[in-house]
Structures are given as structure tokens and as C-alpha cells.
Structure 1
């Protein structure tokens, strides 16, 4: 593969959608050209939050054969795989942790391909390019977060440090209906969920599930209010701009499931999901009025309903949240890999990650003991 070259793009507009998506993203909406372009065109990434596009593009005889969504980061915000402690330790030792190189989808804790190529040799070249850019630029580190397990194994084989975390996913065991899913739960959990749904749906309005052409610009105006409320409370300032939602209205309506609670025609709460080839991904929720259990209904139960009706294998409900366990979402491993330039610092991080992996595995095993599913 002597003719293989890897270059860095400061904007995804420097490559066509056909070239990027043609490398194969496995049907993951977040690594699609249209999603990443919406982030850039809307100003959701860039100087305002320290995510500077630095995408890697591999070419063989001038034909694009691999890509990696990469960003130069000047902080560790919006990543969900936290390395703040590493940054503090390195800076206490007199080093500069930032900027660093990050292969990720901004603000999106969803597993998906990061070394997007059909040939493992091209994936290896993208890994090598990340390490070389890090070394040549004097960066402290390079990180590939929420990558696939296969990518994590590939990275570990060439010296990247593997890290595991955990999320809660609902898995579709061939259910024909929501009641079919409930039948798989213990009696107490089944009754609790039914009570929660009854109370949530008695808020005095209707719940609408919208996708594609059913979504109108006014729906995004309502959802922006919800997103601002949640973003302000969680992060201090919402990561996404208002223009981002206009962008995905134009390019990604068919990839979206928008769940809204309306009373007298006015939306009071909503949940935004993205559709993948085999999964529904819950991303954002918000409200302008607190209604008991409405969050669970819009984010978790409506997502399960939709996934069953459309034959999706799972629902991924985002980062954190042990309360998801009682609602049928089970703990699952997620993966990332890390390249640390300094040998001494790399050894220290490697030792930390070994202890952390043991702790995460123990936690997943313990959480599994609290599964809501029947033991028989």
C-alpha cells in the first residue's frame, strides 16, 4: 500500500458526502457526513467550545478509502470519557496537556466507527497517522472515544491504551409488543412501569411521535426551549446552537424520531432520538413543565415502543443513569483507546486504566444482579 496517504482536513466541507460515507459507517447516523457537517455549519463546533475540526482522510491512488472524525481539543468538555484528572496530573508535572487530538463525535456518547474504512490496513494507517500527528505537533496525547470493540483491539495491538466504561442499553429479545417486553420482567418491576406510564400519560394532553416529513420547523422551536433548559442545568451552556436543529431539519429529518408531549396544542416536553441501522439512539430531553414520570415515558418507554415496532435490536439511552436499570436498560461496556506521547506518563495512565477496568467490570457484574428481568 505504498501509495496510501493520510491528510488532515480543517473542515468536513473539504470532502464530499459520497466520499466520506462511501468508506462505510455501518449505518451510524452520528459519523455520517450530514451530521458532522451540521455541527460545523451551525457553529456548534469551533472556537466557541474548543472543538476544532482536524479530520483524517486516507487516500489510495487519490481515491478516498478511509476517514476518521477528528478534532483538536483545547479542553475536555463534551466528551463523556473523562480525562480531567490526567490533564491536571500532567500540568502539575509541568507539562501542557492541551491541545490534544480527539477522534470522536462531539457531545455524543454513542459507540460507532471512528476508523471508518473497509480495510483493516487502512484503519491501521489512520491510527498511525494519529500517533504521528500527536508526536510531530508536540501534543500530549491522542484519544479515540466510543469506538467499536474491534477498533479498541486494533489500537491496543499497536500501543494505544484501552479503556472501558459502561452505559445502559435496552435490548430487543424479539418482542412483539411493549406488553411482551413487560412479560419478561419480574412482577414488581412490571407493575411499577405500568403505574409510571399511566401517571405520565395522564398529564392532560397527548404524546406524538414524529419522524421525517411529520416534523415541522415549529417543532424544533419548541424543542430548542427544552434543550436550552436541560443544557443550562447540565453544562452551564448548551453545546449545540439553535442553527444545528435547522440544519438537521434540512438534512436528517428521516434519521430522527421526535417525541413530544402536547397540551392544548402546546409542547411542554420532548425527547430527540436518532435512527441507526440496528438501533435507536436517545440523545436529548427537556421540558418547560415538570410532570411526574414524563421523562421516563418520553425518553425510555416511547423509545422501546418505537424500536419494537420498527424491528430495532436495541435502544441506547446515552450516558450514565442507574435509574435506567429498573426500566429494562442493562449495563453494557463501551470502549476507548488512548495514545500518550510521554513514556513515563503513559506508564502511569496504563496502571490507572488497569485498575479502572477491574472496577468497571465489577460494577457491571454487580449491576447485573439488580436486573429487572425474571430470574427463571
Structure 2
């Protein structure tokens, strides 16, 4: 479905070049090489293979309220020079930016909130590019994509467009266009060129270092066995145990566990040893399991499941061992996923994550803007407090 076609001005004195924007109702409708040319260097979760796994498994499908509506931009030669992962949603389940208050308010005034358009990677709260530009893409590609999104909303009466976890470049792009932004505090570990884990702990305050070493020693003394299974060797039994632990943890927290057996198996097949399942075992029982993925210099802590009472195992597998692995592999960061102030004491530092929002109706935008002004002020104040609580010694503060 071609949505727009016409000349787009280029930088300098180069002649205008016609671009076309098309909507594709499924990642399977996009050539993998063309999509990945736009997603190159932007992390594993924007790759064609990842989106294929989440869509072909049915995880991001109509039964769960996801309808793919990706947009691609082609130049005059037919090359894909830009792309955006987009979904039409008829509900807000399995998202990471609550909007129930907006839904209630808009529908109470007689509006229809759904369907809405979201630009994100489903089930994956990882900051990254959302407007994917091929190297050397014409300067007008990003504007063509955002303009096509707004046209879609206007033409079909979509209440709103929501961009989850954009990187700083895209966040600035949307803000400049008048979109609203909201923030949250997440945490990541940053490699300051450590030679090994001991060098990393030496950079911490004495109190934090003592607690960390005590926690690791308790795991050793408990006899917990930890084993890593690279994606190429993950079997069906491994995935079944992982999902059982994931379901156990989510049930205790009163949350829905959406991941499926088919999805995880597809991920393992597509990403091989860039994916790892890590298991903690004691007394013949598996008490914890973690899925991590590596790509473009970052180790991503994605999904953790555990039996009740496995807190120290959680710290060991999700934080200490991922830091060890990142140091050994020369990775720049460990992304720990959503929230968690307890991560600060384990050497992970706060960062701001964002979402950007566009609304069709001026009154709704005004009401949301007023609420976000207050909410964002609280988040920024909390962020400043977390920055002041750095676990590192002052002279090597990161």
C-alpha cells in the first residue's frame, strides 16, 4: 500500500529525488536484507529476524491486539532507504507506558481511543532508533516517515501515535515536531575499560564492594550451580523450564507472562549464540533462569524467571555474571531492562528512558501535556537523586 510519493529535497545543491512511502502489513512482506540495511548497527531487536520471531510466533498478532503496519521508504532506484516498526493496537496490554488514564478521560468525553498507532518493538523495552535510516539515506526520509504516520492518523481517525523507547536522536526529532515526551528512570552498567571483575569492584565505594562480595560468596557457599546454554544448544526442555520459571515469577507479582514456547525457539534459531539461557540449580531443582541477548556492543538482560526466595541468585545471574561477561567480551554496556533502584547498589547507573506522543485532538493533547508536566518533574527529581547516590568512589565517578 503506497501512502505518499513525491519529490524530497536533498542536502546542498543536489537535485530533488522522488521517494515513496509504503505500508506493509507484516515484516514478512519486507525483504530482510533491505530492512536490515536500515537497521544495521542499531541493536538485535530491530533486525528483521527478531521482528519475524515476534510476529510469526503470533506473539505480536491479532489475538494479542497487535496488527503490523510497518512503513518503508524507497528511493527512485527502488532501494529501501528508511523504515519504521509500527503496529495498530486495539488495547494497551503488554506495553510499558501506562495510558489507562488517557483512555478513560478521552472515552468519557465521547472519544474513541482505539485503534492507536504505536512505534515500538513489541514486548521489548529497550531504547533504540525508531526511525531506521539506511547509511547515506536522503535527508528527507525521516520527515517522509513521520509525515506518513500523521497522515495515516488523520485519514483513519486514529486518536494518537506513541513512540516507545526512542533514542536521543529520535526523541529530539519528535520533540522538535511538537510531540509530547515523558520519562522514566532505568539502569545500565557502563564499562570504564575494566580489565576484570575485581578491577570493577575496586572502583566501588568500600561499603558497596563489601556487600557485593558478600552476596557472591553466599551463592558459592550455598552450592548453587549456574550453567549457561548458548542459543545454538538450547533444547525444548530448556525453554520449557525457562517459561515455567518466568510464569511463576509473574504470577507472584500479579502480572501477565506473554512469552511463548514458539517465540523463544524462533529466537534461538535466528540468533544462535548471540542469545544465552542461564540456569541456576540446587538440590536437583532449577530455581532461576535468565535470557540475555548480545549485539552491537551491548549485553541485554531481557527476561528473568525464578522461584520464590531466589533474590541472591537474581543478583548473581542478572547483574554480577552479566558484568563479568561484558568485561570479558569487551562490551561497552549491560542494559538491565526496566526500572529497579536495587540495581544502583550493584554498579548499574541511572539513565532516562523516554516515550513520545502525538494526539489528533487538540483538547486531548492539552490535557495530557498538563499531566505530563507534573509527572516528568517528579521523574527528573528522582533521576537527580539517583545520580547523587552513585555507588562509585567520588574520584572515579562515572
TM-score between both structures, scaled by the size of structure 1: 0.94
Q: SS of the residue aligned with 1:109?
A: coil
CA contact (8 A) 2:133 2:141 kept: yes
Give 2:92's match in structure 1, choosing from 76, 81, 94.
76
Structure 1's unaligned 5+ residue stretches are none
Q: Tell me what 1:85 maps to.
A: 101
Q: Tell me what 2:240 maps to.
A: 221
1:115-151 CA-to-partner distances (Å, cap 9, x unmatched) read 1113342122111111111111101100111011100
CA contact (8 A) 1:269 1:289 kept: no
Q: SS of the residue aligned with 1:309?
A: helix
Q: SS of the residue aligned with 2:114?
A: coil
Match status 1:374 vs 2:389: no
Match status 1:95 vs 2:114: no
1:177-232 CA-to-partner distances (Å, cap 9, x unmatched) read 11111111111111111111112233324212232434344322221212222333
Give 1:262's match in structure 2, choosing from 281, 288, 299.
281
* Superposition deviation, residue 50 in structure 1: 1.0
Q: Tell me what 1:156 maps to.
A: 175
Q: Tell me what 1:250 maps to.
A: 269
Match status 1:276 vs 2:291: no
Give 2:316's match in structure 1, choosing from 297, 310, 319.
297
CA contact (8 A) 2:191 2:332 kept: yes
Task: Name the CA shift for 1:345/1:3 in 2 (closer, same or farther; >3 Å).
Answer: same
Q: CA separation in 2, counterparts of 1:369 and 1:261?
A: 34
* Superposition deviation, residue 373 in structure 1: 1.2
Match status 1:11 vs 2:26: yes
* Superposition deviation, residue 266 in structure 1: 5.3
Task: Name the CA shift for 1:64/1:76 in 2 (closer, same or farther; >3 Å).
Answer: same
* Superposition deviation, residue 107 in structure 1: 1.4
Q: Tell me what 1:170 maps to.
A: 189
1:286-345 CA-to-partner distances (Å, cap 9, x unmatched) read 124633400111111111111111111111111121111111111101122111110121
* Superposition deviation, residue 9 in structure 1: 1.4
CA contact (8 A) 1:101 1:143 kept: yes
Q: Tell me what 1:306 maps to.
A: 325
Q: CA separation in 2, counterparts of 1:244 and 1:101?
A: 23
* Superposition deviation, residue 157 in structure 1: 1.6
* Superposition deviation, residue 23 in structure 1: 1.0
Q: CA separation in 1, counterparts of 2:278 and 2:268?
A: 15
CA contact (8 A) 1:10 1:54 kept: yes
CA contact (8 A) 1:124 1:154 kept: no
* Superposition deviation, residue 264 in structure 1: 6.2
Q: CA separation in 1, counterparts of 2:35 and 2:335?
A: 25
Give the RMSD, CA atoms, in angstroms: 1.8
Alignment of 1:191-210 (within 5 A): 191-210=210-229
Give 1:190's match in structure 2, choosing from 209, 220, 239.
209
Structure 1 stretches of 4+ with a deviation exceeding 4 A read: none
CA contact (8 A) 1:226 1:287 kept: yes
Q: CA separation in 2, counterparts of 1:346 and 1:236?
A: 30
Q: Tell me what 2:55 maps to.
A: 40
CA contact (8 A) 1:199 1:292 kept: no
Q: SS of the residue aligned with 1:76?
A: coil
Task: Name the CA shift for 1:224/1:367 in 2 (closer, same or farther; >3 Å).
Answer: same
Give 1:334's match in structure 2, choosing from 353, 370, 384.
353
Q: SS of the residue aligned with 2:82?
A: strand
Q: CA separation in 1, counterparts of 2:126 and 2:310?
A: 28
CA contact (8 A) 1:200 1:292 kept: no
CA contact (8 A) 2:249 2:307 kept: no
CA contact (8 A) 1:156 1:162 kept: yes
Give 1:31's match in structure 2, choosing from 46, 54, 77.
46
Give 1:363's match in structure 2, choosing from 382, 387, 392.
382
Match status 1:67 vs 2:86: no
* Superposition deviation, residue 96 in structure 1: 1.2
Q: CA separation in 1, counterparts of 2:51 and 2:232?
A: 22
